[in-house]
Amino acid sequence: MSGDMTSPRYDVVAMTRRSWSRAQKKAIVAEIDVGGATLSEVARQHGIHSSLLFRWRKTLGSVMGAPPIDVSSTLRAHTPSSFMPVMLPPPTPPAATMPKAAGPIEIVLDSGRRVRVGADVDTAALLRIVEALEKSR
């Protein structure tokens, strides 16, 4: 290798973080809503993220003559201040039920026929069955 190797080949010039003066921030924030420009469009024009522009607008709002943006007050304006009572239907009394039997119920008819049903049988259906069996004897 030939040449002088004591001096660096390149210099780093770019900074990773830009700094903005207060006047620059005010000027950029003032561009929002001028001529119908949206905050996102202004941020894109200046090469900054829209969240940074939102933050600048919030902090500089009182300085520029406009009240600072308070998101919580906006939310409070749309939140009901009281709760509505919940109207529940009145409780229904428990239906008259047969006591739970351990096993099936067996009914012996006059004709000698036997009907076995569970304790949870529908009484109206059972009456129809018994009447039909009694008529067919």
Residue-wise pLDDT for 48-95, tens only, equals: 999 999 999 888 874 555 555 555 554 555 555 677 777 788 887 776
What's the mean pLDDT when you consider all of the chain? Answer: 76
**Which pLDDT does position 67 carry in this prediction?**
52
In a domain, 11, yes or no: no
The pair of structure tokens assigned to 117 is 């049903």
In a domain, 82, yes or no: no
The residue-averaged pLDDT of 29-37 equals 84
The better pLDDT of the pair 47, 87 is held by: 47
Coil, helix or strand for 58? Answer: helix
**Which pLDDT does position 91 carry in this prediction?**
81
The residue segments making up the domain with residue 124 are 105-135
Place of tokens 């004709």: 111
Place of tokens 């569970």: 118
In a domain, 91, yes or no: no
**Which pLDDT does position 69 carry in this prediction?**
53
In a domain, 42, yes or no: yes
DSSP β-bridge partners for residue 29:
none
In a domain, 43, yes or no: yes
Task: List all residues 6 or more positions away from 45 whose beta carbon is below 8 Å from its beta carbon.
Answer: 31
In a domain, 94, yes or no: no
Task: Judge if 72 and 109 occupy the same domain.
Answer: no
Residue environment code for 22-53, b if the CB has 16+ CB neighbours within 10 A, otherwise e: eeebeebbebbeeeeeeeeebbeeeebeeeeb
**Which pLDDT does position 99 carry in this prediction?**
58
The pair of structure tokens assigned to 30 is 């003032």
The residue-averaged pLDDT of 90-102 equals 67
Q: pLDDT grade, residue 20 (50/70/90)?
A: confident
Q: How many domains does the chain have?
A: 2
